[in-house]
Each structure stands twice: as C-alpha cells, then as structure tokens.
Amino acid sequence: MTTLVTGGAGYIGSITTRLLRSTGRSVVVLDSLENGHAAAVQDTPLVVGNIADTALVSKVCRDHDVDEVVHFAAYKAVGESMENPGKYFDNNVTGSQKLIDTISACGITRFVFSSTAAIYGTPESVPVVESSAVRCESVYAQTKLMIEHLLHWYGQTKGLRSVSLRYFNAAGASDDSTLGEDWRFSQNLMPHVMKAILGESAALSVFGNDYSTPDGTGVRDYIHVEDLATSHVAALDYLSNGGQTLICNVGTGHGTSVLEILHATERIVGKPVPHVFKPRRTGDPSECYAATILAAEKLGFTASRSLDDIISSAYAWHATHPNGHNTN
C-alpha cells in the first residue's frame, strides 16, 4: 500500500515525504514542478503532472496501489493571490476538487490536507482555537477554507475521512540540511533573516514596530518544519486507526516576535542581522499563535523542537544552498 503525496517536491512536502518513508511507508509523489524541485524528491518515485489531470491521478493510484493521500500541492503566495485570484481559485479549489473526486473514485478514503492559520485572519484572541471565527483576509486563505468545507461534505456524503492541518508558521530546514525553503521565492520572515545575515540582501525589512506587543514587532507561532512533517504522519496514523474527519491547528502554542527571532539569530550565528524598520505590512495581525490541545488530544502530536533548532537548521540550509536545490 502506498501514500500519494501531492506537492512532494516542495519545501514541507519533500521533508514530509522523507519522514513518511522512514516510517516504512511506500510513497509516490505527484508534483507539477512549477515551484517544486525534482532534486528535493531524492529517490522517491516522482510523477510530474497536475492534480487536476483525472486520467493521470487515476493511473498513479492504480499503478502504485495508493491507499492514502497527503495533499500539499497549491499556490501559497498571499500577495499574488490578491493580484491573480483566478489562478488561485482554479488551482487550489478546482484542482483540489478534481483530485479529491479522482481519489474517491479510486476507493481511497483517507486524506490529509495542508490548510493554514491564515484562515483566522486577524484573530479575536490568542492563542487561537479551532472554533475561533474564521475571517479570510486573502484569496489564498479563502481557497484553503473552501477545501476544508468540501472535505467536510465529502465526509458526509462519500465516506472520505480527512484531517485538515491548519499550519501556523513553518520555518527551518531538515535536520541534515539537505532539504529546505527556496529563499528566492519565499516572502516569509525566516528566509529573509537568513538572506540579511548571509549578505544576500542589504538588510532585513522589519514590517512594523508599533504593534501592541512587548517589543512592538509582530508575534507568530514558528513551528519547525520537521515537527510539521511529524504532524502529517500522526494524522495518517489517526485515520488508519479509524479516526473521524478533523480540523486542527499545528503550531507550538508559543508566540515569538520578529525582534526575538532576529536577536536569537544573532546569538546563534554570532554576527549582526542588518535590519531597517519599515511600516506595517497590510493585512498583518499583531499576534497569531496556536492553541495546540486538539492536535495533542486527537493526534497525540506536540511540537518538540525549539526556536534555536529552527534558526540553526535554517542557517545551516541557507548557508550551504544559496540557490535552493538548483546547484547551478
């Protein structure tokens, strides 16, 4: 039996793929390689194609005897989603629906979905619980919420059991520094901190230091990407043991500010992070970090790695992979 991982050539997908194989599972990756890298898949079978290609997905499920799916494949640039909503609704919603229809038709009933804490928008209070109001502030977040809703109804009508994991802020790189984020495309904080300290950019722009937080900078819940990968294995095990459809946060439960990240990086690396303070970024909440009790109770998942582990792994990866997985 085999796990199909869509988007397994990406940042979180590739690290999760390798962890799944270390548990003894057979894995096959489906990835369009639009944003992913074949090198990141290493020696896992890779099918290059689109999640909306019904004939291809059916063939992969048959040829590889797929019995469960982890679905990462999606566009995830919040800013781009506001400039090109059609691209995001077409791929993240229509594409995901076609994938889900196809795997259901193949008799597959276990599905783990990569959702996001962005669906909370600016949370009413922190830590954010799963029953908190959802208030999508971007097309990207809306597309993720729509698939959560679709999975609920496919559970009610087709017996598809799913776990939607609402990621907080994935950061860091694989423990052995061979898999990580491609900082050429990411707008996230950690890659930008590493660009600044490694001299790949003049300085980190700190977006806002006038928030109502202890040091005035934005607070988020940074979870090590290896811990995030572990939560997907826990979700698959939960479903294999008969677990019912579930939506849960995946974070550490701790909030960390931009300046705390910056100072920790300077302490670990031993040199300054050049930075300049800029106005707030539109749409950024001041604080967003997870309530983690549901993942602990239902999945038996608790993040184990520290902020220092996150920063050290990110630095080790970016210092040795300035062009991501492109060796040229």
Hey, which residues are catalytic here? Answer: 140
Closest distance of CB 232 from ligand WQD, Å = 14
Instruction: State which amino acid sits at residue 125.
Output: S
Cα–Cα distance, 62 to 107 (Å, whole number): 10
Quick check: 116 binds ligand WQD (CB under 6 A)? yes
Which x/- pattern over 247-276 shows residues binding ligand WQD (rule: CB under 6 A)? -----------x------------------
Binding ligand WQD (rule: CB under 6 A), the pick from 4, 46, 61, 118 is: 118
Closest distance of CB 116 from ligand WQD, Å = 4
Q: For ligand WQD, which is the closer residue by CB, 215 or 237? A: 215
Binding ligand WQD (rule: CB under 6 A), the pick from 71, 161, 166, 220 is: 220
Please answer whether residues 167 and 76 qualify as being in contact, where contact means their C-beta atoms are separated by less than 8 angstroms.
no
Binding ligand WQD (rule: CB under 6 A), the pick from 35, 178, 205, 245 is: 205
Binding ligand WQD (rule: CB under 6 A), the pick from 12, 20, 28, 78 is: 78
Cα–Cα distance, 230 to 224 (Å, whole number): 10
Quick check: 164 binds ligand WQD (CB under 6 A)? no
Binding ligand WQD (rule: CB under 6 A), the pick from 3, 169, 174, 313 is: 169
Please answer whether residues 250 and 223 qualify as being in contact, where contact means their C-beta atoms are separated by less than 8 angstroms.
yes
Quick check: 218 binds ligand WQD (CB under 6 A)? yes
DSSP 91: I
The helix-helix angle for 307-320 and 189-197 (nearest 10°) equals: 60
Quick check: 92 binds ligand WQD (CB under 6 A)? no
Quick check: 302 binds ligand WQD (CB under 6 A)? no
Quick check: 281 binds ligand WQD (CB under 6 A)? yes
Length of the chain measured in residues: 328
Binding ligand WQD (rule: CB under 6 A), the pick from 206, 223, 259, 310 is: 206
> Which run of H or of E encompasses 100?
helix 96-105
> Which run of H or of E encompasses 166?
strand 161-167
The helix-helix angle for 258-269 and 307-320 (nearest 10°) equals: 60
Quick check: 310 binds ligand WQD (CB under 6 A)? no
DSSP string, 183-229: TTT--SHHHHHHHHHTTSSS-EEEE-S-SSSTTSS-EE-EEEHHHHH
Stretch that binds ligand WQD, among 21-29, 97-105, 184-192, 295-303 (CB under 6 A): 184-192
Quick check: 32 binds ligand WQD (CB under 6 A)? no
Q: For ligand WQD, which is the closer residue by CB, 28 or 145? A: 145
Quick check: 173 binds ligand WQD (CB under 6 A)? no
Cα–Cα distance, 1 to 225 (Å, whole number): 26
Please answer whether residues 151 and 161 qualify as being in contact, where contact means their C-beta atoms are separated by less than 8 angstroms.
no
Quick check: 167 binds ligand WQD (CB under 6 A)? yes
Instruction: Decide: helix, strand or coil at residue 169.
Output: strand
Instruction: Decide: helix, strand or coil at residue 20.
Output: helix
- 191 to each of 32, 176, 222, 243, 262, how far by Cα in Å? 23, 18, 13, 36, 12
Stretch that binds ligand WQD, among 28-36, 86-94, 154-162, 187-195 (CB under 6 A): 187-195
Site residues for ligand WQD per CB under 6 A: 76, 78, 116, 118, 167, 169, 187-189, 192, 204-207, 218, 220, 258, 281, 284
